[in-house]
Each structure stands twice: as C-alpha cells, then as structure tokens.
Amino acid sequence: MEAIRHHDHRYYVLDAPEIADHEYDALFRELEGLERDHPELVTPDSPTRRVGGAVAEGFPEVRHEAPMLSLQSIQDETELREFTDRMEREIGRDDLDYCLEPKFDGLSVELVYEDGRFVRGATRGNGTIGEDITANLRTIRSLPLRLAGDETPRRLAVRGEAVLPVADFGRMNESLERAGKDTFKNPRNAAAGSLRQLDPAVAAARPLALYAYDILVWDDGEHAAPGTQSGVLRTLAGFGFRVAAAPRGNGEEEAGRQAVWWEVGRGPDQVLAYHRLLIAGRDRFAVELDGAVVKLDRIADQEELGERSRNPRWAVAFKFPPGQAKTALLGIDVQVGRTGKLTPVARLDPVLVSGVTVSRATLHNEGMVRSLDAGPGDRVRIQRAGDVIPQVVEVVSRTREEGAAPWSMPSGCPECGRPVLAEGANHFCSGGWSCPAQRKARLVHFVGKGGMEIETLGDELVELLVECGFVRSPADLYRLTREKLLAVPAQPAGRPFDPAGAAALVRRLGAARKVPLRRVLVALGLPGVGPTRAEAMARDFDLTALRAHSERLADEEPAGRADEALKALASPGKRALLEDLVDAGVVEGAPGGCRREESFRWAPDALAAAIARLAEKNALDLPRLSEAIAADLTKAGRVERPADLFRLTAADLLALPERRRRPFAEKSAANLLRELEESRTVRLDRFLFALGIPHVGQHVARVLAARYGSLEGLAAANREALLEVHEIGEQVADAVIGFFSDEANRRELEDLANLGVAPAWEATGESTLSGLRIVLTGTLAGLTREEAGELIERHGGRVVSSVSSRTSLLVAGERAGSKLEKARGLGVVVGGEEELRRLAAGDVTLDELAAAETGTGDGT
Ligand code: IVH
C-alpha cells in the first residue's frame, strides 16, 4: 500500500513516475488480491478505495471548518500600487514580501484531514456552508487520501482548487460529443459539473486535478503551523499535495505544456514582473488561469489586517487583462431592467472571446452609444473580463452613411410603450408594475436569493407565469392554485438533436454490428427475459436453434417460463423484429441483407415501444433513442420498420420537430405551493429586500428590520427618524419614504397581508447593539462566525475585522490570538459569547461590561 501511495504521488502530483505503468498495475492488483483475501485489513484510505461508496442522493450540506473567503480583484498597475501602498502604510514597513501565486480557474474546495486521513471534502458554497462531495473528491488522483510525512497535524483543513487541465478538457468534450451528450463551455464548468455528479464513478472517469494553496485550520498541540504563505505552500507540497510548482528554475517544464509556478516577491515592481510573466505564459500552461493572487507573505501580518466583508484585506486577485475580439454589430436592442432602466444592448455576429462565444454586449446608456458613435452594420471591438457582461470598446470601421442621425433612445418603452423619462445619463420606463419587463424582473427579484427564496421558481418560470397572465404582482403568487399551475400550457423545449448529437447517434447506429445474441434477446423484449436470462438462453441455443425451437412451440401450451419466452418469439411481431435485425446485419453470427418477404405491418405505438426497448443499455445501448423520439421518427415516416433505424441520416434526426413540455406537473406544482406556503412567515429583512426598494440591499434591509422590527413600524417612520438610524443616509431614507407613500405599493402590501404573508422579526431584535463595532476572534462554543455576525447585525451592530481604538467590543472565543492581545493593549472591552448574548438581549450595557472587566481584572 505504501509503495502504491508513493507511486501515485510521483505520477499524479509530481508528474514524474519512477516505474512503468504495467509495474504499477501489477502492484495495484497485488493489493486488490490481498484486500480480497483479508477484508479486515482494508482501510478507507487505501488506494483501491478511490471510487467507492454508494451513489449519493443529492449532496448533504456541511459547515466549513473556517469561513472560505473570496478575493477582491484588481485590474491594473495603479490598483496594484494602491494595494501595496496600503499594505505598507498599515503594517508600517516598506520591505514587505508577497507570496505570488497563479490564480487557478476552477472550483474551490475544502479538504479536511484528521490524523492525516482525508475525512471530508466540500464545495465552497456560500463560504460558510458548502456541499459534501467527499466521494467525488476521493476520485481525484492528485488528492492525497493520507498525508505524507510524520509531522502532520491532528486536524487540518486545506483549501484548494479542483481544475480540469486544458488538454483533458478538449478530449473530454470530444468524447461527450461522440456520445451525443452536452459539452461544457469551459474547463471550470467542466470541473464543477464533474464534481457535482451524483455518481462518483462518473467523477472518477474525469481527469480532474487538485491544486492546494491555503491552510484553513491547523489544529495541533505539538507542531506549529507555518508562519508564512510560502511556508504554507511548501508544507502542503510536503504533505503530498500538488501545489503550483516551487519557485522557478526547478526544471518543472514538461514536454509541451508548462507547469505554473509561485514565487516570493518584494514590493510592487516584482509583483508586476510576475504578473507579466504569467500573462506571457498564459496559453502554454497546462491549466486555465485567470490572474495572479498577491498575498502578504507573513501570516502574522495577515492576521493583523484581518478581513472585510468576506475578503481578506491582505490579498488581492490581480486579474489578467480582458480578452478582446472584433465582430459585426448587427443591431442595437433596448432592454428594460427591474428599476425600469433602459439599457442599449449590442446584437453581435457571434464571436469567440477567451474561450466563450459572445453574441450580445452591453452599451450601458445612450451617451455611451453616442460617444462610440456606434450603429448597426459597424465593425466593433468587444471585450470580456471574467464573468462580467461583455462590453463594446470601440468602433473599428463604419459602414453607415455620412451624416446619418446618431442612435437615440426610443421615446416610448419598447416593452410597454409608456413614455421614457431621462434622469441624468440614464433613461427609465415610466410604466412601473404595468410594464411587463419590469414586472417580470421585479418578480424574479422578489422570489430570488436573499428575498423570498422560492427555489422552484427560476427566472423562466416567473416569466412564463407573467406571460400567461396568472401573475401580475407578488400577491398573485399567493393566489396560485394547483389547477392554475397544471393549466400552464406546454412550452417549446427545443429540438431533440443538435448536429453533434445527431452525428453521434448515426455513428452509434452504424457501429451496431455483430451484436451478441444475448443482447439481441434482451432487445426483443421477450416475457421474463432480462440480461441474466438472455445470457443463459444464448448459451443454450444459437440463432437457428432458437428459431426452430420457437416455431415448434408456437402451437403448444408452454410447459415452463423458458418455453413461454421462446413461444413469444414465434409471435409475428417478435419474429418480424428479429428478422429485421438480422436483415440489417446487426446480429452476431448472422449475415445480413437476406430479407425474407415480410407481411408484418407495425402499428406506430408498438414500433416506438420496440425501438425504445432496442435502445436500452443491456440491449443495443443507444442513448438518446427514447420512445418519444422513436414515436416522432415513425410519425415523420422516417422509420416504418426496425431495420429502417440503421439507414437513418443525421439530416433525418435534425429534421425532427421541436418538443413541447408542460412546465408544471403534479409534483412541481405541489412543491411550489408548499414553498409559497412556507414563505408566508419570511424574515422581515428578507421581505424588505424582496420588495426591491431602490438602494435597499441585504445589509440595509437588515439594519431597517433591526431598527423597526415590523413592516408597519417602518412604513410609519418619517424622514428625520430614518436619518437618525445608524448607516441610513438620505438616498435610502428618500427611497423608503417614496416606496411607502406610493398608493400602488401600499395596496400591494395590504394584498399580501390579506393573503397571509406576515414577515416576522424575532422579538429580541431590538437595536441593543446599535452603533457598536464588534470584532470576533477565536472559536465560539455555541455560535458559528456566521451566526454571531447575524446576531450582531440583527441588533443593529456592525461586525468589523480588525481591532483598532474605534472597536467597541472584542468577542474572544477559544484559541484567540493576536487580536486579543491587541485589544487588551488598546483597552478595548473584551468579552466572550455569553457577554455578547447578554449585551444583545439588553441585560447589560457596554459600560457595565467595561466596569465588570476592570473590576475583576479578568478579560474573558
Ligand atoms: S486564496 C483568503 N489562492 O480564487 C484566501 N484563491 O476570487 C482566499 N483561487 O474563491 C483565496 N487560485 O477559489 C487563493 N492561489 C489561489 C487561488 C485562489 C484560485 C480562487 C479561489 C477563490 C477565488 C477568489
């Protein structure tokens, strides 16, 4: 086992195997044999156990060991210098080292090890809670199931990126295409899609790799965690993880594609040089990168700076410059958003930009179109950076006539025809809820994430409900009934085949030659004949014997189950099917093309069912050839008998009509109604956010909910009172007042209330922590970071990441470190979870806490 682990590491992590593949296979088989003979010796981290365990039923949620933060992005040299200046200012030194790493474009995962063994792995999820994908992660060969070395911590959580190497991505898409399956847009989607497969065997077949780059938790009494980020990378490599290659010059160049590397650089100039080198090498790397990550190297410095709104303040993602391309501007459409804002959108001749096909790009507003002087027919340069919406950068050549009028916003909304009003640089539709585009967008927001969170209702379903006139406002959602939902008409669901899928099926049909008799027997659908029975029959008879036997039985009463199956074979339908397959040359051991004159005429339904059976996995295994498709083929007159299948062309498949599907069936309707029912008691802040009041984001919604505690309370607040609330400025105050003084909005809220929608706020939600800046550190026994943060915000407090003289309270848990020292040094009040709860409950005041602290002389 040790030997296999060693060779796995050489092969999958270091890319430097020491033994030939067949030698490795022999070792592996030896271990398998040993484990078979001595099952008591099998350990869960054995190399033979990479794919194992049952197929998961969805993925359970897991709470991360520590929050998985994300990174703030910077784009250029100026922003980089701002970052390094800030680091120098705040740390108070100008000789700071940065750990410079490639930014892998994959799926971020957390890997937990206990006593050196891999016990759990999860997706990042929302940073606090992710999905448990342990079984799939185990299949990644560069993920150590057991940490190497003797000095491994008792408990370790590692963060890394699961990626699909570019070359494997290409190969995988080709084979998906051959199998007639959907392909992936880019390697990142492919990696994410593979890890979210419910069947670990599928994930195992995908050549994923894992690069580790961070230690989230290091828990050990004996060994100390590394003190620098570069030390973290070295330690991870020592544990057997694949990390970006150690500093350059280590000869990590492979034939063809180059490994990416990390290094330590001092000051902004070395960071810039690293960034430039990565860009220059970008296309030659084995994995997709989308930038460099710049991290302060010393962990103590990192801790001093802390984090802000889910981003560390000591690191940035220095993105690569956006990819650009030139194409034709076909036209300018106008889109209406949730707030009624009109956005001109360029309709483009589709073009590939850094791996993604772009056919639309935003033009922001009328002023932008005018300053570009863009119009239909022009050639334009577009760019896309990361996941942001592609933009039009400039016009490269104009085809329009001299003096043609510049493009301008329509005076009526393109969706509802109501007047368009200019407001600053932007234009707005004045239709409000009566404009279908605004209505749809507002409803999508209402049911979306952070709002009512009705998961059954995706954007398309909301739009459909609006289009069929069932839903015009949020209240209508609560008037939906099962009958209404089932009455939503069937919708076009696309054509069954795209060119790749059609070509793949035709190829597979062409390759269906010399199919073993046992599979043909399954394909015939004889009573009681599954794969096992078919196998036995094929062992006992050849084709000629089968035919003879079945004809002999045709007129007799069957004596047993085997006879019954054979007798069925004598029925005209089964016989016709068998002879047809023989005729098409499909059956092993029977020359095709000797059609006996047949008088059997297939009824369309029976033919479709027969074809579907034929296509099954244990029969001819033709994925995609479903009964519905078979029915379409017979209806279109393309297939009149089974043998016709093998003469199909891709054109026949592409000509099949578009499908239609009902969006709601019994089950989905019931799910939606249940979700709506449950949402009636939504939390007040989520409801306020769902209403889409301008400038009221999730945080502001929480502040308002904490201050007012009820919808009525907020509705009754006047401008002055609102302005007194910590963090509420004029913009928000005006928007809130505007919202509640609008007659239509008031009616809508009344409607919702009458339908039983009663947003609630916990009674304890008084603003007991209003105005307090609270820092959390260490592990709290009864609250996660997220829960503590929510408790604080719910009571009007603010969570800040670093301790300063402006900090009101430090809540310290177990293993609190430098923040606790700093707080003591600055005389900041320090308490534990208990103190936080009492403060929030209004049982004590901050002053009382401070007095108690000095009184006892004990900080915690
Ligand atoms: S460090 C607190 N290092 O980029 C540190 N992230 O935009 C947070 N990523 O979600 C992350 N390569 O999935 C770090 N070398 C690297 C990375 C990396 C890729 C991803 C990561 C994160 C995203 C942030």
Nearest residue by C-alpha to atom 11 in ligand 1: 70
- Expressed in percent and rounded to 5, the helix, strand and coil fractions of the chain are 40, 20, 40
Kindly report the number of other CB atoms within 10 A of residue 209's CB atom. Answer: 23
Whether 377 shows a pLDDT value over 50: the answer reads yes
What Å distances lie between residue 751 and 477, 543, 678, 682, 756, CA to CA? Answer: 11, 73, 18, 16, 9
Give residue 677's pLDDT: 96
The answer to whether residues 310 and 70 touch, using CB atoms and an 8 Å cutoff, is yes
Query: 785-794 and 833-841 helices cross at what angle (nearest 10)?
Result: 20
- Convert the pLDDT of each residue in 439-449 to its tens digit: 999 999 999 98
Q: Which of 104, 117, 518, 103 is nearest to 318 (CA)?
A: 103
CA dihedral for 465, 469, 472, 477, sign (positive or negative): negative
Single-letter amino acid code for the residue at 796: G
For residue 320, the number of C-alpha atoms closer than 13 Å in the C-beta half-sphere is 24
pTM of the full predicted structure? 0.55
Written as one string, the DSSP assignment of 794-852 is HTT-EEESS--TT--EEEE-BT--HHHHHHHHHT-EEE-HHHHHHHHHTSS-HHHHHHH
Question: In degrees rounded to 5, what are phi and psi of residue 804?
Answer: -145, -175
Band of residue 255 on the pLDDT scale cut at 50, 70, 90: very low
**pLDDT of 94-120, one tens digit each?**
899 999 999 999 999 999 999 999 999
Question: Residue 329's pLDDT band (boundaries 50, 70, 90)?
Answer: very high
Q: How far is the CA of 702 from the centre of ligand 1 (A)?
A: 29
Tell me the average pLDDT across 17-40.
68
- d(CA 727, CA 798) in angstroms, rounded, equals 10
Q: How many CB atoms lie within 10 A of CB 546?
A: 19
Q: Residue 465 burial by CB count (10 A; 0-12/13-18/19+): exposed, middle or buried?
A: buried
Which helix (H) or strand (E) covers residue 129, if one does? strand 129-131
CA of 395 to the centre of ligand 1 (A): 36
Question: Two tokens at 438?
Answer: 């605004």
- pLDDT over threshold 70, residue 17: no
Of 3-12, 568-577, 817-826, the poorest mean pLDDT is in 3-12
- The whole-number pLDDT of residue 60 equals 87
Flag whether pLDDT at 262 surpasses 90: yes
Q: How far is the CA of 173 from the centre of ligand 1 (A)?
A: 26
Q: What is the pLDDT of residue 860?
A: 40
**H/E element, 426:** strand 426-429
Q: Whose CA is nearest to atom 10 of ligand 1?
A: 70
What residue's CA is closest to ligand 1, atom 16?
103
How far, in Å, from the CA of 349 to the mean position of ligand 1? 34
Ligand 1 pocket test, candidate residues 70, 71, 216, most atoms within 8 A of CB? 71
Kindly give the distance from the C-alpha atom of residue 294 to the centroid of ligand 1, in angstroms, as a whole number: 10
Predicted pLDDT at 466: 93
CA of 103 to the centre of ligand 1 (A): 6
Contact 444, 461 (CB under 8 A): no
Q: Give pLDDT, residue 600.
A: 85
> Ligand 1 center to residue 87 CA distance, Å?
19
Q: Please provide the DSSP assignment of 726-757 as one string.
A: TT--HHHHHHHHHHHH-HHHHHHHHHHHHTT-
Q: What is the pLDDT of residue 52?
A: 39
Q: Is the Cβ–Cβ distance between 315 and 333 less than 8 Å?
A: no
Residue appearing with tokens 């108070």:
92
User: Counting Cβ atoms within 10 Å, is residue 390 exposed (0-12), middle (13-18) or buried (19+)?
Assistant: buried
Which residues have C-beta within 8 Å of that of residue 283, sequence separation ≥ 6?
none
249's tokens: 């010059």
Give the ligand 1 atom nearest the CA of 108.
13
HSE (CB half, 13 Å, CA atoms) of 217?
A: 18
Per-residue CA distances from 732 to 273, 309, 429, 684, 699 (Å): 44, 20, 21, 17, 12
Report residue 275's pLDDT band, with 50, 70 and 90 as the boundaries. very high
Checking if the pLDDT of 25 tops 80, the result is: no
CB 279 within 8 A of CB 321: yes
Q: In the chain, count of helices (H) and strands (E)?
A: 35, 26
pLDDT bracket for residue 29 (50, 70, 90): low
The whole-number pLDDT of residue 50 equals 61
For the ranges 40-44, 69-73, 561-565, 599-603, the lowest mean pLDDT is seen at: 40-44
316 alpha carbon to ligand 1 midpoint, in Å? 9
Q: Which pair of structure tokens corresponds to residue 646?
A: 């093998």
Residue to probe by mutation, ligand 1, list 74, 100, 108, most atoms within 8 Å of CB: 108
Predicted confidence (pLDDT) per residue in 452-504, tens digit? 999 999 999 999 999 999 999 999 999 999 999 999 999 988 888 888 788 88
pLDDT value of position 9: 72
If you take atom 22 of ligand 1, which residue's CA is the nearest one? Answer: 70
Residue located nearest, by CA, to atom 17 of ligand 1: 103
Nearest CA to ligand 1 atom 2: 69
Q: How far is the CA of 55 from the centre of ligand 1 (A)?
A: 30
CA distances from 473 to 268, 445, 463, 597 (A): 53, 12, 12, 66
Ligand 1 atom closest to the Cα of residue 317 is 7
* pLDDT confidence of residue 265: 95
Separation of alpha carbons 357 and 186, rounded Å: 11
Residues 229-239 as b/e (b if ≥16 CB within 10 A, e otherwise) read bbbbbebbbeb
Ligand 1 pocket test, candidate residues 163, 293, 318, most atoms within 8 A of CB: 293
Which stretches does DSSP call E strand in 235-355?
Answer: 263-266, 289-296, 307-308, 311-312, 315-319, 323-336, 342-353
- Give the pLDDT band (50/70/90) at residue 836: very high
Work out the widest C-alpha separation in the chain, in whole angstroms: 107
pLDDT above 50 for 250 = no
Average pLDDT over residues 111-139: 93
Given a cut of 60, whether residue 765 has pLDDT beyond it is: no
What is the CB < 6 Å shell around ligand 1? Answer: 69-71, 101, 103-104, 108, 161, 213-214, 293, 312, 315, 317
How confident is residue 386, by pLDDT bands cut at 50, 70 and 90? low
Rounded CA-CA distance 314/306 in Å is 7
Whether the pLDDT of residue 248 is over 80: the answer is no
CB atoms under 10 Å from CB of 758, counted, come to: 14
Residue 798: C-alpha distances to residues 11, 696, 731, 781 (Å)? 50, 17, 20, 21
List pLDDT tens digits, range 537-547: 999 888 888 88
Query: What are the C-alpha distances in Å from 386 to residues 186, 309, 457, 493?
Result: 12, 21, 27, 30
Give the pLDDT mean for 589-595.
Answer: 73
pLDDT (average), residues 596-618:
86
pLDDT for 832: 92
User: What does the DSSP 8-state code read for residue 320?
Assistant: P
Whole-number pLDDT of residue 175: 83
Residue nearest atom 13 in ligand 1 by C-alpha distance:
108
Q: Nearest 10 degrees: CA dihedral of 145, 151, 155, 161?
A: -50
Instruction: Give pLDDT, residue 199.
Output: 77
The answer to whether residue 151 scores a pLDDT higher than 90 is no
Give the DSSP H/E element, type plus range, for residue 685: helix 684-690
Q: Whose Cα sits closest to atom 12 in ligand 1?
A: 103
Question: Rounded to the nearest 5°, which phi and psi values hold at 217?
Answer: -140, 135
pLDDT classification of 22: cutoffs 50, 70, 90: low
Ligand 1 centroid, distance to 858 Cα (angstroms): 39
Contacts of 69 (CB under 8 A, 6+ apart): 127, 307, 310, 311, 312
Task: Please check whether residue 161 is in contact with residue 108, taking contact to mean a CB–CB distance below 8 angstroms.
Answer: yes
Is the distance from CB of 161 to CB of 210 less than 8 angstroms? yes
70 C-alpha to ligand 1 centroid (Å): 6
User: What pLDDT score does 764 carry?
Assistant: 52
DSSP structural state of residue 322: P
**Ligand 1 atom with the shortest distance to the CA of 105:** 19
Q: Is 819 a catalytic residue?
A: no
Which atom number of ligand 1 is nearest to the Cα of residue 124?
10
Best of 68, 75, 98, 104 to mutate for ligand 1, by most ligand atoms within 8 A of CB? 104
- Confidence check: pLDDT of 360 > 90: yes
344 exposure class (CB count in 10 Å sphere: 0-12, 13-18, 19+): buried
Determine which one of 103, 440, 574, 822 is catalytic. Answer: 103
The length of the chain in residues reads 860
- Is the pLDDT reported for residue 787 higher than 90? no
